[in-house]
């Protein structure tokens, strides 16, 4: 009996030590900083550029899905491991717009790095890293054009459970950790009905972020198991769909069999893509190699 208790006590101590170590590793990951330079951008303020920026954010980069209507900020997730807050981006009270420079925006959007150098969580900068300079500038122009909204929110907090999960590698790090911050960006990407433009649309539109770099789907990293899995959208998954079937899925959220696609797949946003973006995206989806489902 005695040494049964001793074994139990030993195991308890071991668990405490491992958990404490994971907590320390997780906290260290969180406090990592990144020093990245973004080239000086010429951010326009004419109405055509602002309109293009708005279109990109509504149909492709979906800023308002996380940052709330009018980009006034919202609590994105409040769960036992963390409170993730997508900040108010306007110039109002509690908004970052009052203090952010154009390069602060560029670093947040394309590098996932805050002005103080820490890596932003959840913000899908690995998708946005591919934005051309011109599209990034138009997006910043649009963000700055949103009316000021006074909306104070708490800061993002990673609770001890979150730090332990982060330490164990069970929660994704900031995208800042995986982005190649030295990559060269195209100056501009002119919309065209080509596979190349479709690839660009798929990247900044998050298709690769959710469906995986190979588009074969599977569980989306960092999300609780209750969330729907992304499906295989390589030719092995939707190869038998006609072009019109793909367009229907992305415009009205219906599969060829008439069933409705969960709105966690952001089809209410992809519905707003231009005809050129849609047609280029379909061409790109046709061009990718078939892969077995769930291999990301």
The residue ranges that bind ligand HEC (CB under 6 A) are 57, 61-63, 65-67, 76, 84, 86-87, 89, 96, 105, 108-109, 114, 120-124, 128, 139, 143, 156, 202, 205-207, 209-211, 228, 230-231, 233, 237-238, 246, 249-250, 255, 261-262, 264-266, 270, 281
Sign of the CA dihedral with 27 first, then 176, 52, and 281 last: negative
User: Residue 80 corresponds to which tokens in the numbers above?
Assistant: 């036992």
Whether the Cβ atoms of residue 238 and residue 24 lie closer than 8 Å to each other: no
Q: Report yes or no: 193 and 116 within 8 Å, Cβ to Cβ.
A: no
How far is the C-alpha of 70 from the C-alpha of 268, rounded, in Å? 17
CB burial of residue 131 (10 Å; 0-12, 13-18, 19+): buried
Nearer to ligand HEC, 19 or 222 (CB): 222
| Residue 70 tokens, joined | 């009018």
CB of 48 to ligand HEC, least distance (A): 19
Cβ distance 74 to 67 under 8 Å? yes
Distance CA 128, CA 194 (A): 20
How many other C-beta atoms lie within 10 A of the C-beta of residue 235?
17
Contact 207, 59 (CB under 8 A): no
Return the structure tokens found at 17: 């030590």
**Neighbour-count burial of 72, counting CB atoms closer than 10 A to its CB (0-12 exposed, 13-18 middle, 19+ buried):** buried
Closer to ligand HEC by Cβ: residue 13 or 287: 287
Taking the CB of residue 246, how many other CB atoms lie within 10 A of it?
18
Question: 63 or 129, CB closer to ligand HEC?
Answer: 63
């Amino acid at each position: 009996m005695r040494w049964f208790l001793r074994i139990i006590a030993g195991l308890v101590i071991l668990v405490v030590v491992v958990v404490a170590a994971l907590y320390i590793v997780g906290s260290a990951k969180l406090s990592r900083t990144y020093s990245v330079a973004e080239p000086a951008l010429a951010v326009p303020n004419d109405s055509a550029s602002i309109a293009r920026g708005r279109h990109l954010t509504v149909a492709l980069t979906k800023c308002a899905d996380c940052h709330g209507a009018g980009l006034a900020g919202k609590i994105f997730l409040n769960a036992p491991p963390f409170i993730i807050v997508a900040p108010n981006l306007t110039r109002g009270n509690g908004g970052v717009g009052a203090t952010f420079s154009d390069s602060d925006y560029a670093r947040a959007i394309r590098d996932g790095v805050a002005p103080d150098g820490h890596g932003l969580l959840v913000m899908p900068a690995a998708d946005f890293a591919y934005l051309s300079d011109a599209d990034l500038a138009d997006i910043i122009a649009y963000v700055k054009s949103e009316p000021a909204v006074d909306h104070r929110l708490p800061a993002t907090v990673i609770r001890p459970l979150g730090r332990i999960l982060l330490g164990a590698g069970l929660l994704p790090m900031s995208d800042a950790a995986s982005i190649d911050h030295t990559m060269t960006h195209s100056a501009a990407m002119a919309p065209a009905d080509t596979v190349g433009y479709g690839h660009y649309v798929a990247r900044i539109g998050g298709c690769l972020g959710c469906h995986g770099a190979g588009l074969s789907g599977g569980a989306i990293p960092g999300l609780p198991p209750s969330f729907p899995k992304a499906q295989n959208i390589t030719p092995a998954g939707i190869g038998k769909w006609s072009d019109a079937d793909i367009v229907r899925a992305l415009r009205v959220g219906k599969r060829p069999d008439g069933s409705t696609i969960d709105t966690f797949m952001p089809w209410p946003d992809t519905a707003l893509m231009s005809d050129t973006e849609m047609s280029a995206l379909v061409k790109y989806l046709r061009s990718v190699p078939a892969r077995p489902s769930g291999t990301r």
